[in-house]
Structure 1
Amino acid sequence: MQQFIEFATNHWDLFLALLIILLMLSGTNLISVIRGIKQISPAEATQLINHQGGIVIDVREDKEFAEGHIINSLHIPMGSVQQRIAEIEKYKQKPVIVSCRSGARSGTVCGWLRKHNFENVSNLKGGVMAWQNASLPLSKNGRKK
């Protein structure tokens, strides 16, 4: 431990760079934790959808959504969510799962929804990529808003 402290003090610039890189790598999760946004796995998302009537809001752009999305997800691109918040007010009482490609954009949208009093909001950790990696199906048809 003493050597570590000595290294950190002698090479503070390298140590600072390491800390910055670690924070950047964990940034999405760190911000979500600070905001109180729940991160859920694809398996947890399917449980919410199948057993609690959870709704998935996909915040990716049109082209990304058309390439494949979670079945029955609502498509509201991130840039439109704040202007269209009234359209999704009816889902306030349901579990809301927000998804994007990797989980970064959806984390931001979760924060916006929390500010609009959506209590049961979750971010799909790893986004649609994690959904695919879990061998869960994607659809090219669905509700488009």
Structure 2
Amino acid sequence: MDGSQRLMAELNRQLLHDSRLSLADYRILVKLSEAPGRSMRMSDLADGVLSSRSRLTHQIRRMEAQRMVRRTTAEEDGRGVLAHLTEEGMRRLAAAAPGHVDDVRRAFIDRLTPQQLAAVTDAFEQVNRALAYRSD
């Protein structure tokens, strides 16, 4: 647990220092950039970033203030809310990504042998499947 917490803290620190993005901001920007039309229902985005809907709402509000995302009402049912990646959000993500990838490599991937990385990957895929199934 300590190693995981330290890794996440280091990645967050580097993103904040280099790009003025938190790891939570970055994760949301990535999810939106990969979504069709660069937008997602807030409920699906919360599930995708493993966040409570309340916490995501506060995070998105902060990101809206920085013009990285915007929210609209879902046209198909008028009840849901969509989060949209803006051009500013895409620009910030594109600027942050190379440094973040380098930091992930330096702090994690390059410290493991290919066999260790494969074992970690297998282990966390197994854990993710089991816990995702349990939470559905």
Which one has the largest radius of gyration?
A: 1
- Give me the TM-score of the superposition, normalised by structure 1: 0.27
Answer 1 or 2: which has greater helix percent: 2
- Give me the TM-score of the superposition, normalised by structure 2: 0.28
Larger RCO: 1 or 2 (CA < 8 Å, sep 6+): 1
